[in-house]
Amino acid sequence: MAKSNSNLCAVVLLISILIVAASAGSFYDDMDISFGGERAKILNGGQDLSLSLDQYSGSGFQSKHEYLFGRFDMQLKLVPGNSAGTVTTFYLSSQGAGHDEIDFEFLGNSTGNPYTIHTNVYSQGKGNKEQQFHLWFDPTAAFHTYTIVWNSLRIIFLIDNIPVRVFNNNDAAGVPFPKSQPMRVYASLWNADDWATQGGRVKTDWTNAPFTALYRKFNANAKKVGPNSVSTSSINDNQSWSTQGLDAAGRNRIRWVQTKHMIYNYCNDHKRFPNGISAECKTSRFL
């Protein structure tokens, strides 16, 4: 009887493992390679994805589905060593001239110098909302989680669940906000040595090619849109993203990030915007 129970437990455990594996997110299920051919590789049964860049082409992928609001998580390990001139991305975007876009861009640098984390928000084709940061860790040594929370109230950028930026919906003040155009998830690795590293002063060293960035553990707890789409959120999911803001701890963390690690804020660039800063810059960025 004991042996029978042991066998039954083993079968139940195996079934449980298979169910978890089947329900885990897969790049095969969620993404299409968009450019770069063999430079983009889905690995480990769909759990990992690598993008490479050489002197002939970069590479990228995009989600099979479009979304209207949600929480989007991706783990990345960035190009190690001398990554000057390269740009690795994880972002949301709609299509067309009046497109919306929410950007995480990772600007490489020469060996020993930090990556620049570049964030931006476009609405109705208009951007110029850049904030940039240096990280408090080496993003090439291990995977870290980069998150975009997008709801009707605000956009929150998080790194390892630490908020680094909030862009509030100030539509009432005449500031366009992405709220009606469905967006896909995109990622890419490409050469931008005309501007990416120290304003283009440091060029890509192609003797280090191919450059490779790694992606894993994509998760979209979000509202799918389009024909025959079913939301990726279920009644059992935590849908706190739909009203997510910053609590007291979050405000303390974002103040620390923006005080210690922010290197550029468009709201303070009066030389670039001599006619005055945008309306959203006049309200607290922590709310």
| Half-sphere exposure at residue 51, Cβ-oriented, CA atoms within 13 angstroms | 30
Helix (H) / strand (E) containing 72: strand 66-77
Catalytic residue among 38, 66, 105, 280: 105
CB 154 within 8 A of CB 286: no
SS3 category, 55: coil
Catalytic residue among 38, 66, 101, 130: 101
Give the DSSP letter string of 90-113: EEEE--STT--EEEEEEE--STTS
DSSP H/E element including 52: strand 48-53
Contact between 222 and 110 under an 8 Å Cβ cutoff? The reply is no
Cα 199 to the center of its chain, rounded Å = 23
Rounded CA-CA distance 254/238 in Å is 23
Asked if 105 is an active-site residue, the reply is yes
Task: Show Cβ contacts of residue 186 under 8 Å, excluding neighbours closer than 6 positions.
Answer: 34, 60, 61, 62, 63, 89, 90, 91, 92, 93
Residues annotated as catalytic are 101, 105
